[in-house]
Chains A and B, each alone.
Chain A
Amino acid sequence: MKGMTEIVKTISKLLAGLIFFYGIYIVLFGHLTPGGGFAGGVIISGAFILLIIANGIDEEKISRGKEKVGFLESSGIFLFWIISTVGLCMGTFFFLNFLGKGRPLNIFSAGTVPLCNIAIGIEVSAALCCIVIALILVKKGDKK
């Protein structure tokens, strides 16, 4: 696939960074404002999918990226499981909020909630990128 016209390419390059940072904002402030790991993760993956679709598909680059994305996805879910089992290792219950509560309405507050948000954000964004990349690659593979 060759990608779209020059106008679309330029505008998508300008917008992708903004969308990416908006997704990060939604993930990081998930415990204070509406949003959270799922919404932010989908927005982050949207930035990458926008770049892939607008700039055309370079098969080598994408199949190199696929392994990194797979690693990120696995590490995201692994982080979430670690956070959940820390409470068990400390001799109490599952999903213990083992960090301090902090002051409300502060970004460093609410204990493990922001950490869980970050882990879910990594997992969801990498998972959606992985699905799209797999769909693109299999279409190319069947043509030969």
Chain B
Amino acid sequence: MFVILILLMILMIAGAVVAIQSKDLLSAVICMGIVGFGLTLVFLILQAPDLAIVQIVVETLTLIILIAAILKTTMKESKVKKSAVVVYSGIATVILLIILAFILGDAFKGLPDFGCPDLRMSEYYIEQGLKKTGAANLVASVILDFRAYDTLGEATVLFTAVMGILAVLRRKGRKE
């Protein structure tokens, strides 16, 4: 299982690199699809079917919307002229990545090992979840009972986002 997981991760990274580098926008979007569906498989292998269902459906919808947008507008990436700014920003990015690698290397030492999570808080949920809430799906009992406040915020964020989209894309009251 671990080998399959690492192979999937390599495939996803390759897809992301191709998506950034490719000149054709349609193939870039399809490579982004590789990343998303690979993430679905990773969730399935790590035994998180709740996340896998959400990920596969959302990925399909975003692919449809992006492909529709590309078919209606343009398929080619706009060209950026190489100038001194590009070189300087490249050097700055590399320096920033090296600093980040040092800091993250220290931070990773404090994390628990892969596959042996730190269960001080969640042990309570796992043992008492069914008794306290009556929901057989432990994920549902966490996101809608123990941690329902987060879900409320999430749903409100989605509502606010739709309100913003409707305000930006309105037809009435627009200046020509």
Given contacts A34-B49, A39-B53, A141-B171, contact A116 B137 (CB under 8 A): no
Complex interface residues of chain A between 9 and 35 (CB less than 8 A to chain B) = 26, 30-35
The answer to whether A36 and B143 have CB atoms under 8 Å apart is yes
Whether B155 is near chain A, meaning CB under 8 Å from some CB there, is yes
Given contacts A31-B135, A134-B169, contact A39 B54 (CB under 8 A): yes
A141, B68: Cα distance in complex, Å: 17
The answer to whether B156 and A77 have CB atoms under 8 Å apart is yes
Please classify how large the interface on chain A is, using the bins under 10, 10 to 19, 20 to 34, 35 or more.
Answer: 35 or more
Chain B residues closer than 8 Å to A104, beta-carbon distance:
130, 134, 136
Given contacts A32-B137, A109-B135, A137-B169, contact A95 B155 (CB under 8 A): no
Chain A residues closer than 8 Å to B68, beta-carbon distance:
53
Interface 9-mer from B10-18, B117-125, B145-153:
B145-153
Interface 9-mer from B23-31, B74-82, B97-105, B157-165:
B157-165
Please classify how large the interface on chain B is, using the bins under 10, 10 to 19, 20 to 34, 35 or more.
Answer: 35 or more
Whether A132 is near chain B, meaning CB under 8 Å from some CB there, is yes
Contact among A42, A120, A137 for B151, CB-based, below 8 A:
A120
Whether A131 is near chain B, meaning CB under 8 Å from some CB there, is yes
Complex interface residues of chain A between 87 and 127 (CB less than 8 A to chain B) = 94-95, 97, 101-105, 109-113, 116-117, 119-120, 123-124, 127
Interface 9-mer from B32-40, B55-63, B83-91:
B55-63
The answer to whether B152 and A81 have CB atoms under 8 Å apart is yes
Whether B144 is near chain A, meaning CB under 8 Å from some CB there, is yes
CB-CB nearest in chain B for A45: B61
